Structure 1
């Protein structure tokens, strides 16, 4: 089991989202896709500490008070291993973008985010973020890189 974090950062006008075009790492399971930023939790980290660290490492930005929007399960997603991902958003940040080792960072108009080449499941949960849905727990089941099923439970606050 792997624990990870993922964040979709909105610009200060809330009309663009920062995406990472994964084109730089060798043997990257996300190669060619446009994704949010994030990564694996290190020992002893909270999900919040992890996403703040990962965003800083990958973008150069320091996010303040990331908002936990959902928890996602990806059974047997990579190397037959389950991934559990804490999904965050943030529009509070400081700093300037840096060159990322994992791909090219770009602010994408929100109206175009769902059209970018990405995982099929990403387009589903990003839509929930844009619709400002309640906190959720979701499962996305992939086989050979294709989404075959998903389910979700939304929780009212």
Structure 2
């Protein structure tokens, strides 16, 4: 039986200023992404996402809207990996200046695609921005969108 790894990611959107919160990751999966991380034992998907966003940005999010799942199987490690994706416009708090994971900052939604994304992140944007599909499945160097 494969090891299953559960993670999350959340796009925080400031409707008033038409900006999206991004993170320039410096540890794993380097480059621009949305905040997120691993789901811990005993946590729900939403609870873990709220915790990860708080840890990585300083912001408290609420009213998370599911916007899709990304998943793949890593044969070398015999791992099945899931990323549960959310978005929200409901946030409060003070943005952290820096974190161990990398800098977080607001970017205008129209300038989002000009950033240096982590591998595979740019192709996921329609899931967050337009709800264009519900699932992305990576298999043999290809992705299928459903």
After superposition, residues 20-99 of structure 1 pair within 5 angstroms as 20-23=23-26, 28-31=27-30, 33-76=31-74, 81-98=79-96, 99=98
Higher relative contact order (CA 8 A, sep 6+): 2
Which one of the candidate residues 131, 136, 142 is aligned to 1:149? 142
Q: Deviations over 1:31-67 (max 9, x none)?
A: 2x00111111111111100000111111110001111
Structure 1: tracts of 5 or more residues without a match: 143-147
Kept in 2: contact 1:9–1:90 (CA 8 A) = yes
Instruction: Give the direction of change, closer, same or farther, for the CA distance of 1:59–1:79 in structure 2 (3 Å limit).
Output: farther
1:85 Cα deviation after fit: 0.7
TM-score (norm 1): 0.81
SS at the partner of 1:97? Answer: coil
SS at the partner of 2:106? Answer: strand
SS at the partner of 2:121? Answer: helix
Structure 2: tracts of 5 or more residues without a match: none
The residue number in structure 2 matching 1:145 is none
Kept in 2: contact 1:114–1:127 (CA 8 A) = no
Equivalenced residue count is 142
Kept in 1: contact 2:67–2:131 (CA 8 A) = no
Q: Deviations over 1:113-147 (max 9, x none)?
A: 1221113532122123222435x0221247xxxxx
SS at the partner of 1:151? Answer: strand
1:30 Cα deviation after fit: 1.8
TM-score (norm 2): 0.86
The residue number in structure 1 matching 2:15 is 12
Instruction: Give the direction of change, closer, same or farther, for the CA distance of 1:15–1:80 in structure 2 (3 Å limit).
Output: farther
